[in-house]
Structure 1
Amino acid sequence: MRVLFVAHGASHVPWAVPLAWATQLAGHEVRVAARPQSVDRVRAAGLIAVPTGDRAAGEAFAAWRIPDDAERPERVPADWAMGPLPWPEERRLSWASQLIGLADSLADDLVAFARAWRPDLVVYDIGAVVGLVAAAAAGVPAVGYSWCQPVGVYFLDDKEVPPAYVRMFERFGVEPRIGTDTWIDPCPPALRRPSRVPRVPMRYIPYNGPGEVPRWLLDSPGRARVCLSGGITTSNFTDRRHQLLDEVAGLDAEVVLAVAGAEDTIGPLPANVRTTGWLPLGALLSTCDLLVHHGGAGSGMTGFAHGVPQVTVPDNTESTQWLWGDLVEQAKAGINVVPERHRVPGALRTAIEDVLGEPRYAEGARRVRREIEAMPPPGELVGYLESRAIS
């Protein structure tokens, strides 16, 4: 069987790696389509990359931000498990227009590859709608996989479908794919949102890229160790570095600054802060008592896979970061320092001290880890992919 994986962006490549490798280890041929900015990450994972599109289109998409006057995402209600989808429908359709524009810039390359390579199945990141176009053009089924966020392109009926989506398929002489299918979902029950899209659960296996273990990581600091991370693609730490460092200075904890390149740009550090250079986040978090981060699902799920409680500091323009932070609180596994609290002096420090000082947050994180460990591993999902592939 030939399986074409389609990644969305650099920070999304890690979500594809465990299932792609499980598929390859089961004896199938695997290719991973990625934008130019993401190709090196695919190669570093030992997988074969298929470059698609040009760098300029990807950079234009990455630079897009929610307008300042746009409605902010709803807070997750207390009864969220039974309530409405905590990602407003108008936001889903608005975000879809951005994803369609990006997909249109990638479609020529990916369709040409799919028609030449002739995969039996396309497995696509739900943010990479171009995977649906390639599957339709190759005449094969497609399976989506999520990244613990509801940001994906799907249309439930013809009335929702924008003309740009239809034109993208018509360019290649195929019918647009409309309606919900099934998504592979690594989100554990404590963090799962209600959805109209059927889900197939899969255990989250952290993949944070290659690296090596520094010698100091093997030594116990003799006090709490706090990881401060800005994720792979966010500018959150760069924009707030002085504020964040001021907040953690003097904490009775070793603060590890896990931001690649930070040692060359931030100047003198507080006495209790050290930098790591590039270090796979999972290797560090296995030794940490707390993760402070921007609200990215990749960083957050890596933390929960290791049972680490969290303090999130979401960017004011990133809706998905707000939502992740709210769900951390709903799981009783941490605190979300929302943007309106960013400006309150000491808010982050207080949140860190609260999480470190209250055992219930660590227990909440361990509870999420147990849920993750109870889910089917990627190897068990290969049979599902085989059943969905064209015969």
Structure 2
Amino acid sequence: MRVLLTSWSWPTHYNWLVPVAWAFRSAGHEVLVAVPPGGTHGVTRAGLPAVAVGADFDVDRVISKYYWSSPIAEISARGDDVDWDRMREEGQQPLAVYALLASIMQDGLVALTRGWRPDLMVFDGVNYAAPLAAAACGIPAVRQIWGVDFSSQLAPFADEALARHRAQLGLGEVDVLGTATLDPCPPSMQLVDGVRRLPTRYPSYNGPGKAPRWVLDRPRRPRVCVTWGTVSHLFNGRIFPLGGALDALADLDVEVVATVPKGGRKELGSVPANTRVVEDLPLHLFMASCDLVISQGGGGVTATAVEAGVPQLTVPRTSEQVLICRSLERTGAARMIALDDASTALLREEVVRLLGSAAHTAAARSLMREARAQRSLADTVDTLTALAGRA
């Protein structure tokens, strides 16, 4: 069976497809990964075949134009969930960014699908060119999400946002949620809706990398990971500063591991004596050795911490992150600070609370067991093979 996997060029989105691609390969299927040109290197670094479709684009400019000028950004900074029904009534279109990305990738993805003739497509949940291309070519499309199902909340906006795209392909209605959804989220965190989900354990993958020796040593003090993700530079200062988070931990008897993108160390300047700064180190290499993780609440870091059974403290910035962090907090495995409320003093207070809390640690371990009890990717591949009619 041939399987075409596709994402846009953000590594944090593409990384979710890597274990899926390898599960298909391990089962003897042929896979190909379609991404914009700038994303092909990340694909091949994971040992997978890549093909470029569409063109690269200025993500900074796009986000600045469509997200920061919307009321959604202000709502998220308060730590509030977005009322999507109200957004529709007010004429907001949260899919504008993704509709633009679909325009860039659509023609190339359709041409690739028609030429390579896959039996199944697996797509990142906000790569809307994928369900359009799959519908145009008559193959099933399976959506990969990255935790709590944010993209399902946006589905009611898709008909309007993608009207021109569908017209170009001669399509009527297209279900942007796909034929089924690969769902790595523990059920206790997930939304309750009518989406056809295939609950599947997430084998943490945050990119390729070498494990330094200290990762294998047992820490002598509580280890706290601080990470703002790989794309924090796109927020143009609209996040709680990483340096402020490190200052909050400076006088605590803890070992701090601060992760930054490649080249990001020099931007931090001086750091407290208890802090180790690492560049481009995948979280899954050392997360299990941590006692706490502090992050922006993105899908990758939160899922990796859940899989490792580590309590979390989050300071979310986007509506997607707020949704994830609120769901995490309800399980008892995490605490959330709204961006508008965040301060060095409050961050320190919450860290002390979490490190001394047996209840939060127990809740994190319980959530880990729930996540690990889900079906393996190998079993899910069998289901998807049958779905594609190739069992």
So what's the TM-score if we normalise by structure 2?
A: 0.89
- Contact preservation (8 Å) 1:35, 1:51: yes
Shift of 1:290: 0.5
* Stretch moving more, 96-105 or 296-305: 96-105
> Which residue does the alignment assign to 1:82?
none
Shift of 1:91: 5.3
Q: 285, 289, 292: which is aligned to 2:291?
A: 289
> Which residue does the alignment assign to 1:217?
215
Matches within 5 A, 1:224-239: 224-235=222-233
> Which residue does the alignment assign to 1:95?
94
Does the residue aligned with 1:27 lie in a helix, a strand or coil?
coil
- Contact preservation (8 Å) 2:95, 2:154: no
Matches within 5 A, 1:116-265: 116-152=115-151, 161-162=159-160, 164-178=161-175, 181-235=179-233, 240-260=241-261, 261-265=263-267
Shift of 1:389: 1.4
**1:352 to 1:330, Cα distance in 2 relative to 1, 3 A:** same
- Counterpart residue type for residue 308 of structure 2: H
| Cα distance in 2, alignment partners of residues 280 and 127 from structure 1 | 23
| Cα distance in 2, alignment partners of residues 160 and 129 from structure 1 | 9
Q: 311, 326, 332: which is aligned to 1:309?
A: 311
- Contact preservation (8 Å) 2:297, 2:325: yes
**1:179 to 1:36, Cα distance in 2 relative to 1, 3 A:** closer
**1:209 to 1:224, Cα distance in 2 relative to 1, 3 A:** same
Does the residue aligned with 1:5 lie in a helix, a strand or coil?
strand
Shift of 1:59: 4.9
> Which residue does the alignment assign to 1:268?
270
Does the residue aligned with 1:167 lie in a helix, a strand or coil?
helix
- Counterpart residue type for residue 108 of structure 2: D
> Which residue does the alignment assign to 2:326?
326
**1:139 to 1:388, Cα distance in 2 relative to 1, 3 A:** same
Shift of 1:374: 0.3
| Cα distance in 2, alignment partners of residues 175 and 245 from structure 1 | 52
Unaligned runs of 5+ in 1: 78-85
- Any idea what the Cα deviations from partners look like across 1:351-375, whole Å, max 9, x if unmatched? 1111001111111111110011100
- Counterpart residue type for residue 186 of structure 2: P
Unaligned runs of 5+ in 2: none
> Which residue does the alignment assign to 1:300?
302
Shift of 1:195: 2.2
1:65 paired with 2:67, answer yes
- Counterpart residue type for residue 323 of structure 2: L
Shift of 1:381: 0.8
What number of residue pairs does the alignment pair up?
A: 378
**1:293 to 1:37, Cα distance in 2 relative to 1, 3 A:** farther
- Any idea what the Cα deviations from partners look like across 1:285-340, whole Å, max 9, x if unmatched? 1211110111101101101111000000112xx11111222122101012101112
- Contact preservation (8 Å) 1:45, 1:210: yes
- Any idea what the Cα deviations from partners look like across 1:107-140, whole Å, max 9, x if unmatched? 0111111111111111111111111111122221
Does the residue aligned with 1:292 lie in a helix, a strand or coil?
strand
| Cα distance in 2, alignment partners of residues 130 and 121 from structure 1 | 15
- Contact preservation (8 Å) 1:34, 1:51: yes
Does the residue aligned with 2:148 lie in a helix, a strand or coil?
coil
